[in-house]
A and B are shown apart, each in its own frame.
Chain A
């Protein structure tokens, strides 16, 4: 394989919403490369559906402080409140900016951006559901991704499409650049760069049923975790209540925002019992738990009693066609059901990582629980943990997160690049990756140690033992399973020995990150002996603010993780019992 060297001031890894927004900020003022293992428009931001919240007050009175209150309450008080204030305050300009760049928002009668209701968003701190989510039908993420990419094309941003970054070089605590694999040739590229932003998205593929793309394997967090950088709040993983039964394909909360209702096998609107005031529009963690509880009590529908119904039949054909066209198409395509006439079988699906690479509010990566900044390294979007989502993210806040903190990461790169001199990366920077690849290529393929089999066993066991409800028993069992999987992974083999588009080789390396993500998730979950937000321990059903009002920091230690903790940054909202 050839080794090719490039020199840039800054590199952004990942070209979804966060990476592209960072690029728009940084590109005009430095020599910047955006590296993505896909094409930018294939990033999973494009799969987001329902909307992006901002207190524009286009439909009714609204205030960013109410948005912040909802976000903090939704987070089960684990979000850092100063960061939440930034998110909700800057949301307004972020939406307007996207409109100015051409985003085709759905509109109100008066021509202003349309807004709809979404789970956990209320007016006047809980009084009633708020019309806060700005949307483009039910393809808001697609339109954000397209708009940001279009903006990048207009600016001439330099992309390296279908290049997979697999290593970062940090010398004496300072960033020197990254090393990438070019998919179409198998060549290795060294990118000398003193500023690097990771915007690689989430890692939903640690579970079997997920709304996430196959490509969401935790590459950015994995690369840093293996270098000794901790991962924050990994025990908090969101399960979206309404995935299409068995497939996990997302059906937006906008379906309930527009009036859709969840029903059990008897047709009962069970959310009335779990969240009497806002019912089906309760935050996702509560709705997913409610569904899991209904199913475990025998109220699930179907031959295996393992799903519930999302009922849109009362909304009328016109609302469905205008406001929910894409998700109803998914139902027609994959379940062969007409949602105008029939309720849709749904079950919770692994959806979003609240945890990830720890950063401050300027996207700067933190290398420990004492807020020590790692110079030159940044992260944004789902790969990062600021933390604005705490223990449970509210719907629409992820699209907001990527643009608000993507921009801030871009600004931080700029500031760093303007204050530092160009760096030089050694010619041996590629050695580790070359050795890793040669190792994988040289081993003879065996069925037992194939990527597909190990990953399958990983996903099935994580689904079984570390999903919505967890306990000491299930998590300990999963710890043992992960040890065994890690041993098998040490011997992983691949069939494809070629150079051109060796996607099996990439899947083998991605599996390493998936194992890292799983190990840190399970270790963090085992240590948190309370229930908060998306983390539900059956053996510790209550929130324990005395011991656990803090963020976890998981440091890689062999096959497991050492845990340290950092206090939550509180603000004007006092923690209280979370009821809706």
Chain B
């Protein structure tokens, strides 16, 4: 079938602002949107720029806005979206070129929540014990691939980029609810900040946007509650 792609392009070396470009590609209904972008790049217009790597939703490189919603281009099939397909860079992070945004502010927020296990006790020479039930308390948030689909779908983040954003809170959750971690006090202190978890207005955009199906809004609520309990 013939598919029309409408892509928001921006070349910082030549454009003052973004503009739409249109491409027609021949596609199979089972193909991924990423496959269509590759058809354009490889066989029509090599200047089209976007990030991608694994092509099956595990590396988190190709979050973009497809027909108005945040998705991974490699995780959506042609038959699942209406034609023409409108593709834009994610919102709230500076556009560098075409569908590529500056990820540094996003990574900075992630690093702020101390996203690593904190426990100074000597664990000995075997594994620490942990029940499967305890693993399941934080297993959902371990699935995060740092694609930024959640954070860049958040209306609070769009208007206030100082907000730490859903992804950073998800990664804090992963440790706050891990029975082996002892760093929650410091972490929750950071999340109590004016730009922390309480800026969330529970719009649930993040939950719909997450390509890994993480219950992002619920995780944020869990963290808010823990912050209050920690006081």
Contacts and interface: CB of A to CB of B under 8 A. Distances in A.
A150 B115 contact: yes
A453 interface: yes
A501 B115 contact: no
A142 B142 CA distance: 9
Q: Which applies to chain B's interface (DSSP): helix, strand, loop or mixed?
A: loop
Given A44-B53, A46-B59, A249-B56, A498 B116 contact: no
Contacts of A456: 42
B43 A213 contact: no
B29 to A, nearest CB: 10
Interface residues of A, number: 65
A573 interface: no
A154 B115 CA distance: 8
B91 interface: no
Nearest to A37: B53
A107 B130 contact: yes
Contact of A96 (B32, B54, B127, B132): B127
Interface string A465-505: 00000000000000000000000000000111011111110
Contacts of A47: 54, 56, 58-59
Interface footprint category on B: 35 or more
B139 A104 contact: yes
A139 B143 contact: yes
Interface stretch (A109-117, A174-182, A274-282): A109-117
Interface in B98-139: 98, 100, 103, 107, 111, 114-117, 123, 125-132, 134-135, 138-139
A153 B52 contact: no
B18 to A, nearest CB: 14
B53 A38 contact: yes
A211 to B, nearest CB: 9
A500 B12 contact: yes
Nearest to A215: B53
Indicate the member of A99, A100, A456 with the most B CB atoms within 10 Å.
A100
Interface string B37-75: 000011101110110111111111100000000000001
B104 to A, nearest CB: 9
Interface stretch (A75-83, A353-361, A444-452): A444-452
Contact of A105 (B30, B54, B117, B127): B127
B11 interface: yes
A136 B142 contact: yes
A330 interface: yes
Contacts of A495: 45-47
A44 B59 contact: yes
Contacts of A44: 53-54, 59
A41 B60 contact: yes
Contacts, number: 160
Interface in A82-103: 93, 95-96, 99-102
Contacts of A503: 41, 49-50
B69 to A, nearest CB: 16
Interface string B138-156: 1100110110000000000
B142 A104 contact: yes
Contacts of B75: 333
A141 to B, nearest CB: 8
Interface in A212-265: 213-215, 247, 249
Contact of B41 (A105, A326, A504): A504
Contacts of A104: 135, 138-139, 142, 178
A289 interface: no
Given A42-B59, A42-B60, A143-B142, A501 B49 contact: yes
A96 B122 CA distance: 13
A334 B77 contact: yes
Nearest to A134: B127
A422 B49 CA distance: 39
A41 B146 contact: yes
Q: List 3 A-B pairs, minimum CB-CB distance, nearest first.
A: A452-B42, A102-B117, A495-B46
Interface of A: 38-39, 41-44, 46-47, 56, 93, 95-96, 99-102, 104-114, 136-137, 139, 142-143, 146, 150-151, 153-154, 184, 213-215, 247, 249, 326, 329-330, 333-334, 445, 450-453, 455-456, 494-496, 498-504
Given A333-B77, A456-B42, 7 more contacts: A42-B53, A107-B132, A112-B129, A142-B145, A450-B46, A498-B14, A504-B41
